[in-house]
Structure 1
Amino acid sequence: MFKHLKSDIPASIVVFFVALPLCLGIALASGAPLFSGLIAGIIGGIVVGALSGSNIGVSGPAAGLAAIVLTAIGALGGYQNFLVAVVIGGVIQLIFGLLKAGIIGYYFPSSVIKGMLTGIGIIIILKQIPHFFGYDPDPMGDMAFIQADGNNTFTEIIDTIDHISPGATLIAIIGLAILILWDKVLSKKGKIFALIQGPLVAVALGIIFYLLTKNDEFLSISQKHLVTVPVPEDAASFFAQFSFPNFSAITNPQIWVTGFTIALVASLETLLCVEATDKLDPYKNVTPTNRELLAQGMGNIFSGLIGGLPITQVIVRSSANIQSGGRTKLSAIIHGFFLLFSVILIPKLLNMIPLSVLAAILIIVGYKLAKPALFKKMYSLGWKQSVPFFITILGIIFTDLLIGIALGLCVGIFVILLKSYQNSHFLQKEKNKDGKNIIKLTLAEEVTFFNKGAILKELESIPENTFLEIDKLKTRYLDYDIIEILEDFRLKAKERNIDIKLYSKRGTIENPPSFIEFFKSDPKSGYNVT
């Protein structure tokens, strides 16, 4: 784990700068204490990072849970009652892991996963535009389309035009230029530029710019455009920021419902993130999903016990880790320690970082997730790949992450059903036999009730005075619904002077007296053909 320190430490610094505002922003969007977001980020880095089997995944508070948290805090009668639900959610995730539920993530189509990554990339860029220009009406962690104030992603961007902060915008542009220069040119010039990452330089310049211009009427950056980390006066006030669950409320059924909801949503987001980060990983490591659920469960138990928000593996931080060259789980663990030490030792210094500089870092992260070349590639793969891809993107942008994924998955399932409908059989017309046309119906390897319509349509279109050959030699599974259709057709065939010949592994039979009895008598599989 320690042999890639020269890659993991620079990556952990970048992830730290990405995670810091997101932890605070998600806590603000959730209606929770700001410090609770930092606790979740620290636990997600250190505890989950140590227990996880992922080399490049980074965990912390997730924007997808913000709405659930906001509603639950009010419904459960306070934050300490809500923490009980977080602990219960962690226990349920442990159960999911023990039950091997991690396999669920593999049932999402690749086009939907790629759409998820691209949609998140686009929404990161759109959400950071107001912060880039120094207009910050909403927290940086709020990823939903509709904001709490009734505005949406695009109206916030339009409103930015009238609220541009010159100082914040100038340092954001400088920071963005540094990031691009570092990534495209300087990182290839020498080891020093690979060790010291562009985001660290951009943040350092942002702090210097703030200090030099804070008395300048035109270029000064106001406090609301800076990072806002709680600053304790002493050790007692620091520890006073921790909250603890009120376990006397554990008998409230609503707390158990909330706990299960947190476990379900957090597990799904984590599994989707695992699938996505494994695809992004240039070294193609495969994350053990059941172990990941166990790690997330332990993380949520620890987070809930000391006042933190629910935790999931997060694609924004994970992709920043990958893009910055992170190789092992040490980068996630170190970023957690950076969060811990910074809020203890240098909170005042952190509060000098302009949000616009952090927005520039996130815009680069978003661009790398949503490169234009990917759109061209997905379009070239045909509509079966491109339609679920684009639907997922639009769903994420105009609703939220889970709804967008659900829409893409529904389209993906529709494509599967359509192809199943089309590929259930092959119809071939051959030469005449005794004055009758020969039609050969070759059934696919698996024929299910999805194929009822297609096969029924073909059988109904067979003309009178026909010799029908049904070839099911390669069929391994034949659904009972299809057998009923064949039986109904057999009864009609006599009236239409259609002779039937059935080819199967059990032999060949002409004008079978009953398809149902023929398959029912199969001692190996009953109504299923094996």
Structure 2
Amino acid sequence: MQKNIFPTLGNDIPAGLVVFLVALPLCLGIALASGAPLFSGIIAGVIGGIVIGSLSGSHTSVSGPAAGLTVIVLNAITELGTFEVFLSAVVLAGIIQIGFGILKAGVIGYYFPTSVIKGMLAGIGIILIIKQIPYAFGVNETKDLEKYIPFVNDWDAVLSLGNLSKTFDFGAIIISAVSIGILIFWEQSFIKKLSFTKLIPGPLVVVLLGIGLNKYFKFFVPTLYLSNEDKVVLPVVDSFIGFTDLFTFPDFSQLGNSDVWLAAVTIGIIASLETLLSLEAADKIDPLKRISPPNRELLAQGVGNVINGFIGGLPVTAVIVRSSANVTAGSRTKISAVFHGILLFASVIFIPGLLNLIPLACLAAILLMVGYKLTKVSLFRHQAKLGWDQFLPFIITILGIVLFDLLIGIGLGMGIAMVFILLRNYQNSYLLDDKKEELDGSIRIVLSEEVSFLNKGALIKALEEIPEGKHVIIDGSKSRVIDYDVLEVIENFKTNAGSRKIDVDTIKIKSIKSKGLH
């Protein structure tokens, strides 16, 4: 628990604003793609931020409606007949997730190798870029948007991107180009040194300038002006009754229907797996290298989804796009996630008219930059330098996600990673010795001949159980091979050991920095 939040507010409040700007279009877009009421995406974003953000043990992860669930949600709503019956399945899915948390099923997240997690991030980044390109060109629902944005990896739609030159909106292209230019400029080191950039995030500048530029077009260059169809559309609430009418409540009359339970189990399992993978990914990009408790996260997600089901929200997961935006914006604690949820709620109540002035091209530019950061060329070079055992699962995961879907990609990546592990471990099955306490009170952890990512969970648990103030020796003198994931765990433990007053020494364990892996 954070003892004093005030020293980090200067980081967390601006980061929360950035996440809000990223989350708003995602909440609306995912609701539309899921065939659900538009406001259900906003509800899910609010609950994901305020409720799950408060209950979660993660300081970096941000939850909300997830693109990975859109197909499942759309199919479930179609099969069950009404959105109200679907909401009953969301409530049950939340209860299932709470059960997973109680049963401590979250440890499964420790057994996904780094290469697969990084592949998941890159794959999501590529899809995010593909799906935002039409918006950057000014294509929307009234301009045959479905031809250009694939619903489920529709490659005809991807190939149709080449025809955007026939239907593009020049005003949108100008706003997109200016927005991307500002975001790149805001990332330059000499700009980051200026104090005002910590208070004014680049995406905020992009949104404000986009609104101003479009207003300029309206009065001085009408042919470039972006009308309502090219801007954010939120419901305007003008009374308390109008506000309450936005909520939808579950219909539990179909609880005996096996399709309801099938949808609930599917959502519960997929949402939990996506959450655990996103949680692991968020921890990896956390500059403070903190480890989030997975079982507590499952409990928080379960509570959030139960509430969503009761008031008309889409099912939520931890979402790496929001989480990466959160970390990139400089967040230090989960206050930023909670604040972004508060902003989502306040925006639709108090300033929907102002938000409806934001050009979709601005938001597309923000998301294009998020996608780029997730799938930089340097990431591919970095993975290639690590060897085939890291690069092949990474690239196969990306191809599986982009060509098929998230779960197939992860499954293929895991399969390739397991082949490498089985080959390496063929002659050695005993991987990790117990920690031993020396006569001088120090604790010695002796690693065995070969240590793979399968031992990551056990090592993390052993390191977490070390009392404060101890001297720890991690001995790799017997080890012939220590997997990259295990080296990363040791490096993260050394980074955080000072906060627990733990003195760490390592024997014959190469630093991932000295190996050029960071």
Which bracket does the TM-score occupy, shorter chain normalised? 0.7 to 0.9
Q: Measure the CA separation in 1 of the matches of 2:149 and 2:361.
A: 21
Per-residue Cα deviation, 1:209-235 (whole angstroms, up to 9, x for no partner): 222223544211132221111222322
**1:103 matched to 2:86:** no
Alignment of 1:347 onto 2:374? no
Separation (CA, whole Å) in 2 of partners of 1:377 and 1:163: 38
Deviations for 1:24-55, whole angstroms, at most 9, x for unmatched residues? 00000000000000000000000000000000
Q: 1 CA distance for matches of 2:160 and 2:309? A: 33
Of structures 1 and 2, the larger Rg is shown by: 1
Provide the C-alpha distance between the structure 1 equivalents of 2:96 and 2:292, rounded to a whole number of angstroms: 20
Counterpart code for 1:351: N
Question: Which consecutive residues of structure 2, in runs of 5 or more, have no partner in the other structure?
Answer: 430-447, 451-477, 479-518
Q: Report the Cα offset of residue 245 of structure 1.
A: 0.4
Alpha carbons 2:71, 2:152 under 8 Å: kept: no
Q: Could you list the per-position Cα deviations for residues 418-466 of structure 1 after superposition, in whole angstroms to 9, with x for gaps in the alignment? A: 3344779xxxxxxxxxxxxxxxxxxx989xxxxxxxxxxxxxxxxxxxx
Query: How many angstroms apart in 2 are the aligned matches of 1:114 and 1:295?
Result: 25
Partner of 1:271: 276
Residue type at the aligned position of 2:68: G
Map 1:115-514 → 2, pairs under 5 A:
115-137=119-141, 146-147=150-151, 152=156, 154-185=158-189, 187-214=191-218, 216-421=221-426
- Whether contact under 8 Å (1:187, 1:194) holds in the other structure is no
State how far apart, in whole Å, the 1-side matches of 2:299 and 2:183 are: 36
Matched residue SS, 1:312: strand
Q: In structure 1, the residue corresponding to 2:238 is in which secondary structure?
A: coil
Taking a change above 3 Å as real, the CA distance of residues 339 and 176 of structure 1, as seen in their structure-2 partners, is same
Moved more, 213-222 or 254-263: 213-222
Unaligned runs of 5+ in 1: 425-443, 447-473, 475-530
- Among 32, 35, 55, the alignment partner of 1:51 is 55
Distance across 2 between alignment mates of 1:272 and 1:152? 30
Partners of 2:198 and 2:157 lie apart in 1 by: 35
Deviates more, 1:224-233 or 1:37-46: 224-233
Structure 2 vs 1, CA of residues 408 and 145 (structure 1 numbering), >3 Å: closer, same or farther?
Answer: farther
User: For each residue in 1:468-495, what CA deviation from the matched residue of structure 2 results, as whole angstroms up to 9, or x when unmatched?
Assistant: xxxxxx9xxxxxxxxxxxxxxxxxxxxx
Separation (CA, whole Å) in 1 of partners of 2:134 and 2:260: 36
Cα shift readout 1:207-264 (whole Å, capped 9, x = no counterpart): 1122222354421113222111122232211210100001222222211111111110
Equivalent residue for 1:75?
79
1:60 matched to 2:64: yes
Work out the percentage of aligned pairs sharing the same amino acid.
Answer: 55
- The residue aligned with 1:427 is none
Give the counterpart letter for 1:147 in structure 2.
F
Q: Which range is displaced more, 285-294 or 206-215?
A: 206-215
Post-superposition Cα deviations, 1:173-222, rounded to whole Å, max 9, x if no partner, equal: 11111111112156424211211111101101111122222354421113
Length-normalised TM-score, structure 2: 0.78
Distance 1:172 1:225, change over 3 A: same
1:2 aligns with 2:6: yes
Q: Contact 2:217/2:224 (CA < 8 Å) preserved in 1?
A: yes
8 Å contact 1:127–1:153 — kept in the other structure?
no
Tell me the equivalent position of 1:42: 46
Cα deviation, 1:282-308, whole Å, max 9, x if unaligned, reads 100100000000000000011111000
| Equivalent residue letter for 1:240 | D
Q: Residue 477 of structure 1 corresponds to which residue in structure 2?
A: none
Residue matched to 2:22? 18
CA distance in 2 between partners of 1:308 and 1:40 (Å): 5
